[in-house]
Homo-oligomer: A and B are copies of this chain.
Amino acid sequence: MKKAAAISALGALAQDTRLDIFRLLVQKGPAGVAAGEIGERLGQPLPTLSFHLNQLRFAGLVTSRRESRSIIYSANFDAITGLIAYLTENCCGGQRECCIPAATQKRIRRVSL
């Protein structure tokens, strides 16, 4: 991931409504959610929502597809894994792994036994 893409993604996530949208889409997985349903859940006016969805889309964090009259948004999982890799790149000089989340560390530890 390039720096500009990382800043764009981080900036897109650094906002109340957009963070809610993104986490909702992460949890929903590839099936995604229609714009209108996102608006209902988050209680935001549609134009405001549309603005935020665009920010997320420009940042590469979500993709959209039309399905009849609805537009379905879903999270771009490659973008989030790429962002995490960028942030933790060469962590502690590459000598130790200090940046792996607890949940993942637990898995690795368990499997390693």
Question: Which A residues have a C-beta under 8 Å from some C-beta of B?
Answer: 3, 6-7, 10-11, 13-16, 19, 22-23, 26-30, 77, 80-82, 84-93, 95-96, 98-104, 107-108, 111-112
Question: A99 touching B77 by the CB < 8 A rule?
Answer: yes
Residues in B neighbouring A6, C-beta threshold 8 A: 19
A27 to B95, CA, bound (A): 10
Report whether B87 and A99 are in contact in the complex, using a CB–CB cutoff of 8 Å: no
When the two chains form their complex, are residues B29 and A87 in contact, meaning their CB atoms are under 8 A apart?
no
With contact pairs A10-B14, A13-B10, A111-B111 given, residues A80 and B85 touching in the complex (Cβ less than 8 Å): no
Which residues of B have CB within 8 Å of A96?
29
**Nearest chain B residue, comparing its CB with the CB of A89:** B23
